[in-house]
Amino acid sequence: MSMKSYTKVIHRHPYHLVDPSPWPLVASIGALSLTFGGVMFMHNYSGGSQLLLIGVFTVLYVMFTWWRDVIREASFEGQHTEAVQEGLRLGMILFIVSEVMFFFAFFWAFFTSSLAPVFNIGGVWPPAGLEVISPWGLPLLNTILLLSSGATVTWAHHAIVGGLKNEAQTSLYLTLTFAVYFTAFQALEYLESPFSISDGVYGSTFFMATGFHGFHVLIGTIFLSICAVRLYFDHFSRQHHFGFE
């Protein structure tokens, strides 16, 4: 009986086969607690504040642990190949497109209401009898802060590409400073606002659009804070800094 030799064929690919992770399930539970707790808190139901806090801390915990795992896979295990980075970039592009459509709905509501105001708000815009916020105060200052943060974060990106770590850190810290001031001023603007979200179409469109925008700024601040820590520990190189991009 003749012995046959077998050749083991190994197919290599550039993709990252992610290990099983508990964080999607835990994040879902945290998001559910956060949503239900927020609704219960706003309607003064018993236990709403406790459920809201549980949701907040669960989401923050998942953010920390999930980021830790992704950073380990990217920086230390070398799992983020060129093919993986291209897939991540495509996913981010699709996410940004969905965000554009999300805010497009709010702009549609605003322009529909402002360009053709109906009779039950007096046929004018802003609605008759409603005291509004002057655009030349805090809104103008926040616009300047927002544009300045865009310039400094672009400066940080160019500094990373150029291998200038100190310059990248300085510009990134400036960006975070602008973002914190922006969020603080928007909170002050909300507290001092002469109208609320319940004041008709003007209040609802104003607070929904600016509120979700402020929420995006807050999330971006958290992302850039993580990037600042990673930059300090030399996780970014001139060729590989997708987490910052």
pLDDT tens, position by position, 3-33: 555 566 565 777 777 888 899 999 999 999 9
Q: How confident is the model at residue 101 (pLDDT cuts 50, 70, 90)?
A: very high
With contact defined as beta carbons under 8 Å apart, do 219 and 179 qualify?
Answer: no
DSSP letter, residue 119 = G
Percent of the chain with pLDDT over 90: 46
Segment 182-187 mean pLDDT: 95
Task: Count CB neighbours of 208 within 10 A.
Answer: 16
Extents of the domains making up the chain: 23-75
Task: Count CB neighbours of 243 within 10 A.
Answer: 19
Percent of the chain with pLDDT over 70: 95
pLDDT tens, position by position, 124-145: 888 888 888 888 989 999 999 9
* For residue 126, cis peptide bond before it (omega within 30 degrees of 0): yes
Q: Is the pLDDT score of 46 beyond 60? A: yes
Residue closest to 169 by CA, chosen among 235, 72, 73: 235
Task: Count CB neighbours of 33 within 10 A.
Answer: 20
Q: Between 241 and 93, whose confidence is greater?
A: 93
pLDDT of residue 74: 80
155: helix, strand or coil: helix
Helix 200-232, helix 82-115: angle, nearest 10: 160
Q: Please measure the distance between the N-terminal and C-terminal CA atoms of the chain and give it in whole angstroms.
A: 62
Prediction pTM value = 0.80
pLDDT of residue 18: 81
Residue closest to 157 by CA, chosen among 52, 236, 94: 236
3-state secondary structure 118-160: CHHHCCCCCCCCCCCCCCCCHHHHHHHHHHHHHHHHHHHHHHH
pLDDT of residue 11: 59
Q: Residue 82: how many CA atoms within 13 Å on its side-chain side?
A: 1
Q: How confident is the model at residue 209 (pLDDT cuts 50, 70, 90)?
A: very high
Q: Between 98 and 79, whose confidence is greater?
A: 98
With contact defined as beta carbons under 8 Å apart, do 37 and 54 qualify?
Answer: yes
pLDDT of residue 31: 94
φ/ψ bin of 37: left (φ > 0), alpha (ψ from -120 to 50), beta (otherwise): alpha
Token duo for residue 116: 């053709």
Segment 219-230 mean pLDDT: 90
pLDDT tens, position by position, 148-184: 999 999 999 999 888 888 999 999 999 999 999 999 9
Q: Is the pLDDT score of 202 beyond 70? A: yes
| 22 burial via Cβ count (<10 Å: 0-12, 13-18, 19+) | exposed
4: helix, strand or coil: coil
User: In this structure, what is the dihedral angle of CA atoms 109, 197, 207, 91, given to the nearest 10 degrees?
Assistant: -70
pLDDT of residue 175: 95
Segment 219-244 mean pLDDT: 84
> Distance between CA 154 and CA 37 in Å, rounded?
38
